[in-house]
Chain A
Amino acid sequence: MSIDFSYQETWLHKINPSLKLGFVFLLFIHLIMIHNTNILINYMFGTLILYLFFTGHPWKRLMIIFLPFLLIFLTSSTSMIFFGKGDVTWFKWGLIHITEESFFRGLHLGFRGIIFAIIGVVFALTTRPVYLFYSFMQQLKLKPKYAYSFMAAIRLIPLMIEEMQTLHYALKVRGVQSGKGIRGLYNKLKSYSIPLLSQSIRKAFRIAVAMEAKRFSNSGNRTYYYQINFSKVDLVFVFYLIAVFTLSYYMAVQYPYFPITDVRL
């Protein structure tokens, strides 16, 4: 969340947000079409460099954020490794059937999961929501009523987190016990979500009315306080991606980690 943490601004922050998102999307589509794990691993290093050195966030924060990524690797890969189809059996025990094909396919999914996570987090850490939505309005013609609603709602989140803390104390003081099992989970979710939802809906409603009182309307033109443009940094970003892309292919052919070039087979 780049919302309430301080950070150093880097060149990644200066990229046009719409362009950044666009290329993140292209990358996503491209990644789905890569079936060679070797390329994928190289790709991962390319994105990891951005994550580790260019987000402008302190090391400790980066490390904490990285932990769940390992979990992603596991969740994305294990089912496929244990239960995927394949011919060359490596291990079989009860329902578990690990084959060479399923193993590499699983590994592939794991790496892909990690790359998506890294790219997503790099984007999140280097994009201020306000600039993102201004850029959406200016470059992607998003309607202002959606863009400003997003910005207003994002502003409410820190308030909501404070309220949640208060709510937590209040429930404790009143001695609320949610019980165990599914019912307990249901009660717990309910005792938090009802007050939070109810307060937030009221607040959101009032903000919307206040915005209209300030003559916000969907019709007609508007000027912008921030003009989000394109710059040289955008080119740097695009060239970086092209470099990662070419190098990944080249290295994968020249110095493969595994002999398999298509995990679908």
Chain B
Amino acid sequence: MKKPLALAISAAALAFTSAALADDPKEGGVVNTIIQPEPPGLVLGMVQNAPTRTVSGNIYEGLLRYSTDLEPMPQLAESWEVSEDGRTYTFHLREGVTWHDGEAFTADDVVFSADVFHRELNPSARAVLQHVESIEATDDHTVVFTLTQPFGPFLLSFEAGTFTMVPEHLYAGTDFRDNEHNDHPIGTGPFKFSNWERGTVIELVKNEEYYEEGLPYLDGVNWHIIPDGASRAVAFENETIDVLPSGTVENFDIPRLAEMDNVCMTEEGHEYFSPFAMLWMNNREGPTADKRFRQAVMYAMDREFAKDVLWNGLGNVPLSAFGSNARFQNDDLEPYDHNPERARELLDEMGYDGEEITILPLPYGETWTRWAEAVQQNLREVGINVETQATDVGGWNQRLGDWDYDLAFTYLYQYGDPALGISRTYLSDNIAKGSPWNNVEGYENERVDELFNEAATAFPDEEREKLYREVQEILHEDVPVGWLMELGFPTLYRCDVQNLVTSGVGVNDGFKDAWLDR
């Protein structure tokens, strides 16, 4: 029953592509969609959580945009050059771009955004900016980034959610977090902020002055705020809502909704993030400190079952630490298949005495709770004494930040390149209390540190590939964390919403090209 659903998606995607080619886009109409949870604010860079990225990616823009194959595409920069030594990046900005308040967008805005605004506020941009020596505007429409050394994924860092362009004329010299314009975000994007009824809706309207000829087609996008998952499903069912962005309904509702008339579904549009579900395993103490125990956990888990039953057959069971959407995957590694026999052998070998360990599910809804139950059952089958502990988001953050756990579910974005989204989990200088997004498991391996650090700055890509292949072999053997799944987070929508997903971040910047065939 599960396979056909995945097939149906590709069929729907095909049908949809040909339909889009056949018709000329129609103008007008408002799309109703969902944002969950309600974002804390809409100024990207100042706030970076997923819902803010989703809404504000349509208000703000970055220099580049990324295809579903993660190839850079022009956005605010219409072309760019990389120097021979991989240290100098020159961006040529599009002319005639204005902010929503009418001011012209220039190279000074880029320098301000990158060098001042993001350096002060934005931890993910800071991680990239540490490789940047200088940022200069050589004229009104040219910006030159000079790096301290080559940095392979540099071109992948200009997505709107990570490196948002913010208006210098409104922010320079102010206290950014107290700036009066934070209530009314001003970007360059295809949609303008119109209204936010807290707890009810965020309304965006068409930017009539948008610089791309003819775009956007839609008159506006309404992001409804509905806190309960079942109510969100109902709102889609009774056709108040046209688009359900990924992760807005529980997985068990998806097959039912996907089978409705005039409902299409796509798995595309999450390639840039490609959320990778993992099981943190505490490398510091307890049975999980033993490599053989961690390997046993990998053999004990039936990951294909979780994929088919809990995730509707969508997504991908990874071989090791590098997902299929990250580059440089080493596919020569021996997969950790479901093999309870092997798991028991490993546990015998290490002399596991039945010490009780705990598992923390991710407090993000029913699917995760059930997944933890499935894993608990798998582990008990091979003789591991495991108990589930429920927490809320606050408690989960605290437990991970304090390293107070044995096994814990999480998922991390891969950002298209190992140096952006993967190495952070394994580098030993990334061990620090207080954050659930660093090297939480406490894995330390000098060779791994060396390889990751070299690979990040190696040039060209062939050099990087060699280093990354080796690092994957080591990680595959050491199992610092459990690799569960690259998650398939489908987007559901009425089939007459055309051209919705056109980039590797999906609806985060998708309404720009979308139109309604009504």
Asked if A and B bind, the verdict is no
Which A residues are within 8 Å of any B CB, using their own CB?
Answer: none
